[in-house]
Chains A and B, each alone.
Chain A
Amino acid sequence: MKKTNYGIVVIVIYVDDLIITRDSDVDIFDLKKLLKQKFEMKDLGELHYFLNIEVIQSPKGIWLLQRQYALNKLSEYGMMGYKPNSIPLEQNVKSSADERDLMEDTTMYRCIMGSLIYMTITRPDLSYAIGVVSQFMQTPRKPHLDTVRRILRYIKHTL
């Protein structure tokens, strides 16, 4: 972020993705022209999509959505056929110490957790439930996976 004689300029850089904004709309095209002189760049116009987040700009405000991301993840984890659920977490989740409940493939659990944590960017309503199940990342057991599935079914309910 820089305050110049011509106003405020903000450039957010994420490796090769740039978000640009400034206080005067007219000058943004000059800014883009300047940037294009420095590096070979593609102008993607108004911000619509950034790091899997959909951005909708309107005079009323800006909406951030991860609907498409959530749908992709639900189908990736084979959850599309499951029944939606209006509550993300049951009361008093019991944690299991039973050896038989240990999962052979723990990678899946951690992958889902990664996706869920990413969804909290636009979905604070998921935070508590995710906080509970993320305690079991080290040694996830089958009941924990059920709880995670419940969160995914809740997400399906809210889409």
Chain B
Amino acid sequence: MVRVIQEVEPTCFEHAVENPKWDNAMDEKMAALDANATWELVALLEDKKVIGCKWVYKVKHNADGSVSRYKARLVAKGYAQTYGIDYEETYSPVAKMTTVRAIIAMAATKGWSLHQMDVKNVFLHGDLQEEVYMEQPGYVGQTHPNLVCRLKKTLYGLKQAPRAWSDKIG
């Protein structure tokens, strides 16, 4: 049976912050970003460019259709980045499907068991080499509204985010 009532995901911070569920999700995310030392607050020098950011909200469902989690994700507006200034290389390798199939075939012939893991907050692991400034995300309790975020780690949306991650595990 399909879900009859689908919960609407808010499209902007102003709406989300009024709902305790989403406000909570943002608190969780901010705590993760904080613990990860994703950025430091600095005063912006005149000739530097700042890119924007945006909260994205997603309801995660269980297989039976019930709500499992309210997820807030902070994305940087990578489309405002300029090549050579705040990003350089962006290529990032991923496993080819034929490779995956070949490995599975090998496991089958050898009788090995296959296991699976996933990395949490994957792009937050990437170390950022370039100088990227981002506006502070909408958040209750901003103490220094005049400062900007100098990013230390990659965020979703940054041009070099996948690349920085593959450098990290490479």
Contacts and interface: CB of A to CB of B under 8 A. Distances in A.
Interface of A: 10, 12-23, 25, 28, 32, 35, 39-51, 55, 57, 59, 61-62, 64, 121
Interface stretch (B12-20, B44-52, B81-89, B94-102): B94-102
Interface string B114-146: 111111111001000000000000000000000
A48 B116 contact: yes
Contacts of A44: 115-118
Nearest to A61: B108
Contacts, number: 104
B113 interface: yes
Interface size class of B (residues with CB under 8 A): 20 to 34
Of A22, A23, A40, A64, most B-chain CB atoms within 10 Å: A40
- 10 shortest A-B CB distances, which residue pairs? A16-B122, A47-B114, A44-B116, A62-B108, A16-B119, A47-B116, A40-B120, A18-B117, A20-B115, A21-B112
A62 B107 contact: yes
Contacts of A42: 117-120
A64 B108 CA distance: 11
A14 to B, nearest CB: 5
B116 A14 contact: no
Contacts of A59: 111
B170 to A, nearest CB: 9
A64 B104 contact: yes
A121 B37 CA distance: 41
23 contacts: A13-B166, A14-B95, A14-B100, A16-B118, A16-B122, A17-B118, A18-B117, A20-B117, A21-B103, A21-B107, A21-B115, A23-B110, A25-B113, A28-B113, A32-B115, A41-B120, A42-B117, A46-B113, A46-B114, A47-B115, A62-B105, A64-B101, A121-B101
